[in-house]
């Protein structure tokens, strides 16, 4: 039986949010991504991607982490960024769009700074609820990165456990963001995809915005031990020509 990611989002929000508060399992640490970024790790997601590095905080959010106000998260991110001379901030680890009130509480604080916030999202809720894009369009310090979980609907379903129809919500997110002039870009997990399916995805993205096809960011799975276990349990194999590179990534 496949996951309904909208229903799962609602159920998860009941666990990881309390009004403007949201649960985190790690608050503000420096990371090398994007040339250096201050990152906080939230609990809970509305997908179950087999390649996700988050295990317990995703699957058992009721048993880990603590609640923080938007001001506390913002201060943690800001202090870390200043300490390491970073210009970018993000909430990661799981799905940051869970808990709209909390998310926009943080983003409105970022607006008062010179920092850039990278909103990494699977896009499901942004595609389902256009109000996310409407509010994001009113902000100037945010760039949205929509991480597509596969190159077509059946592949998406196989990799995430969600209904295949939800793949279109990811593309709808890009449409909503574009229509509200929100700076954004698509990324896609291609470690399990053929080049042909990647090119077909580019054509679909080109129909939304020509630049999306030309600047599609391809993600590669990192084979952490829990990821390897999930792949073996689900009998899912990597694209053979990339396997060595992915395994090398785990040693870097």
Predicted confidence (pLDDT) per residue in 213-222, tens digit? 999 999 999 8
- What are the boundaries of each domain within the chain? 5-219
Q: Looking at residue 236, what is its pLDDT?
A: 87
Query: Is 244 a residue whose pLDDT tops 50?
Result: no
Q: Looking at residue 55, what is its pLDDT?
A: 87
CA distance 210 to 201: 12
Q: Looking at residue 241, what is its pLDDT?
A: 41
DSSP for the chain, please give it.
Answer: --B-HHHHHHHHHHHHEETTEEEEEEEEEEE-GGGSEEEEEE---S---TT-S--HHHH-GGGS-EEE-HHHHHHHHHHHHHHHT--EEEEESS-TTSSHHHHHHHHHHHTTSS-EEEEEE--HHHHH-THHHHHHTT-SSEEEEEEESSSSHHHHHHHHSB-GGGHHHHHHHHHHHHHTT--EEEEEE-TT--HHHHHHHHHHHHHH-HHHHHTPEEE-----HHHHHHHHHTT----GGGHHHHHHHTT-
Asked whether the beta carbons of 246 and 222 are under 8 A apart, the reply is yes
Percent of the chain's residues with pLDDT above 70: 95
pTM flag (> 0.75):
yes
Region 5-219: CATH code: 3.20.20.70
Q: Looking at residue 196, what is its pLDDT?
A: 97
- Least confident range from 24-28, 153-157, 183-187, 245-249: namely 245-249
CA-wise closest residue to 183 among 246, 112, 118: 118
């Amino acid at each position: 039986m496949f996951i309904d990611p909208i229903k799962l989002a609602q159920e998860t929000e009941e666990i990881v949010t309390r009004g403007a508060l949201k649960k985190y399992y790690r608050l503000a640490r420096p990371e090398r991504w994007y040339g250096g970024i201050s990152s906080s790790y939230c609990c809970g997601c509305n997908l179950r991607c087999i390649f996700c590095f988050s295990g317990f905080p995703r699957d058992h959010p009721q048993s880990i982490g603590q609640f923080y106000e938007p001001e506390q998260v913002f201060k943690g991110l800001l202090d870390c960024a200043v300490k390491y001379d970073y210009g970018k901030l993000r909430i990661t680890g799981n799905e940051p769009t869970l808990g709209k009130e909390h998310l926009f509480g943080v983003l409105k604080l970022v607006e008062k700074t010179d920092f850039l916030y990278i909103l990494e999202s699977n896009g499901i809720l942004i595609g389902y609820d256009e109000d996310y894009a409407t509010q994001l369009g009113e902000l100037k310090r945010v760039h949205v990165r929509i991480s597509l979980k596969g190159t077509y609907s059946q592949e998406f379903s196989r990799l995430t456990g969600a209904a295949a129809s939800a793949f279109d919500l990811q593309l709808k997110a890009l449409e909503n963001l574009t229509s509200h002039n929100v700076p954004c870009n698509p990324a896609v997990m291609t470690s399990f995809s053929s080049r042909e399916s990647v090119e077909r995805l580019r054509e679909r993205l080109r129909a939304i915005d020509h630049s999306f096809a030309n600047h599609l960011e391809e993600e590669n799975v990192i084979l952490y031990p829990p990821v390897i276990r999930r792949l073996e349990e689900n009998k899912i194999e990597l694209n053979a020509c990339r396997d060595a590179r992915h395994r090398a990534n785990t040693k870097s």
